[in-house]
Amino acid sequence: MENISVFRGERLVLDRVGFTLDAGDALLLTGPNGAGKSTLLRVLAGLRKPEGGHVLWSGVDALADRSQHAGRVAYLGHQDALKLGLTLRENLTLAARASGGNPDLCMKSLNISGLADLPARMLSAGQKRRAALARVLLAQAPLWLLDEPSLGLDINTMDLLGGLFAAHRQAGGIVIATTHVPLPLPNARTLALPGLNESDIPQPMEDFPEDDLL
Amino acid sequence: MKFQIPSLIMAILERDLRLALRHGADTLGAVLFFILAGALFPLALGPSPELLRRMAPGIVWVCALLAALLPLDRLFGAELEDGSLDQLLMTGLPASLIALAKMMAHWLTTGLPLLLAAGPLAIMLGMPSGSMVVLLTGLFLGTLILSLIGGMAASVVLGARRGGVLLPLLVLPLTTPALIFGAAALDAAQTGLSWGPDLELLGAFLAAAIPLCPLAAGAGLRAAVE
């Protein structure tokens, strides 16, 4: 049913990376720091346009209509994107409005219902990460793009996350995650990004004078 | 997809207004600057009522323009830094409408309070009460223009280092027409000339800015998250 194939070539970070996933599949992106794992996720989310290649969804170019693509994707960045002055529930309101989902149910599945009315500035790093994961759940999207979802999570929450992953994949959803630690994703395929070659390293340095003009 | 565009714009507005209320000091900063800067003029120019009355239109307009600049830097900057901009774009709302919602929020949290403070400031400077309608109508249009052009400039410099320095350099030249027409309408009202044409030109400026600025700002937001 769902069938994504990505084939893209980018000058620096990613060079002609390609893969295909079916409904229920999971893919782990691994590689050294700076290998382009987060960049690849942002391309798949439609936040960044690839310099070459295509992202296909069921055979159709997904990035042609990025607003429509956004409805298919739940994106978790390396930042939690919570407004510290708002309560947890208020932080989730916008995502709930966008998807029509129920924020209370999502907070319950990540075990943070008790924190719903606390301002986000009072939460710990792990609790904030759980709140950001609740937003992923809230999006009710078939494709989950998670940038190091386990950051700051305790063992109990990792188990919880395993259950959520399993339920999502059982319902035909796809999980693509970057990680440096093992995630509870059985039978996940792994794509190892090679990282920078020696010859690529001077190239970003050349960009600096250009940037300095601003 | 189950989203509706107006309800999402409302959600962004609600969120920004709630944040503005929670961080009251930041919100009042612009208005305080406006009142303080306006109050310094009588001290610097000497307490001549005639001089102040003549200069009042210019003082109110220039102070309002500078005060509205203050919160622009954080308008999108805060969203970019904490990753919220990514999540806003992932709601599926077109980038230009996200920009429009943020511009409306800027007007509600900065332009509207400035408008409310402009009346007392003008009275303090001895502006005749007959010109008050012209002042407030002109400032109403002017603050809307400021929010639109300011939001556009803020999204264009987003992600650039030292964007805060670039911002006034971009905004002020683009808003000078509004300043000229707004102050000219007040001048005309004080000397008994017809002030209608100046306000109409302000309105025309606003009518051009409403569709163009959000479009440019949307492109700026897209480029900033790349």
User: What distances in angstroms separate CA A169 from CA A22, A174, A176, one per listed residue?
Assistant: 10, 6, 11
Cβ within 8 Å, pair B3-A68: no
Contacts of B8 in chain A (CB under 8 A): 94, 97-98
Residue of B nearest to A119 (CA): B22
pLDDT of residue B174: 93
User: What distances in angstroms separate CA B207 from CA A42, B68, B105, B147, B202, one per listed residue?
Assistant: 36, 20, 19, 13, 9
Range of the domain at B132: 5-225
Where does residue A181 fall: left (phi above 0), alpha (psi -120 to 50 degrees), or beta otherwise? beta
Q: Is B220 helix (H, G, I), strand (E, B) or coil?
A: helix
Pairing of strands A26-30, A174-178: parallel
The answer to whether residue A80 sits within a structural domain is yes
Based on the structure, what is the number of domains in chain B? 1
Tokens representing B171 are 């905004």
The answer to whether residue A208 sits within a structural domain is no
Alpha helices for chain A (secondary structure H): 37-45, 66-72, 88-99, 103-109, 125-138, 155-170, 202-212
Query: Which among B3, B19, B90 has CB closest to A75?
Result: B90
Cβ within 8 Å, pair B14-A67: no
Angstroms from A192 CA to nearest CA on chain B: 23
B96 touches B214 (CB < 8 A): yes
ipTM of the complex: 0.83
The answer to whether residue A143 sits within a structural domain is yes
Q: What is the mean pLDDT of chain B?
A: 90
Q: What is the pTM of this model?
A: 0.88
A66-114: per-residue pLDDT in tens? 888 888 899 999 888 898 889 998 999 888 888 888 888 888 888 888 8
B23-60: per-residue pLDDT in tens? 888 778 999 999 999 999 989 988 788 888 888 888 99
B149-201: per-residue pLDDT in tens? 999 999 999 878 777 788 999 999 999 999 999 988 988 888 888 888 999 99
CATH number at residue A166: 3.40.50.300
pLDDT of residue A10: 53
Contacts of B161 in chain A (CB under 8 A): 211-212, 214
Based on the structure, what is the number of domains in chain A? 1
pLDDT of residue A196: 59
Query: Which among A67, A83, A100 has CB closest to B84?
Result: A83
Decide if A86 touches B, using CB distance below 8 A. Answer: yes
Decide if B200 touches A, using CB distance below 8 A. Answer: no
- Res B86 pLDDT > 50: yes
pLDDT of residue A1: 42
A174-205: per-residue pLDDT in tens? 999 998 888 888 888 888 887 655 454 444 44
A143-174: per-residue pLDDT in tens? 999 999 888 888 888 988 999 999 999 998 89
Cβ within 8 Å, pair A81-B87: yes
Q: Tell me the percentage of chain A whose pLDDT exceeds 90.
A: 15
The answer to whether residue A131 sits within a structural domain is yes
User: What distances in angstroms separate CA A195 from CA A15, A29, A43, A200, B66, one per listed residue?
Assistant: 10, 12, 17, 10, 47
Decide if A93 touches B, using CB distance below 8 A. Answer: yes
Tokens representing A213 are 């003009």
Sheet holding A174-178, edge to edge: A73-76, A143-147, A174-178, A26-30, A189-192
Angstroms from A78 CA to nearest CA on chain B: 8
DSSP string, B143-182: HHHHHHHHHHHHHHSTTSTTHHHHHHHHHHHHHHHHHHHH
Residue with tokens 């009202």: B189
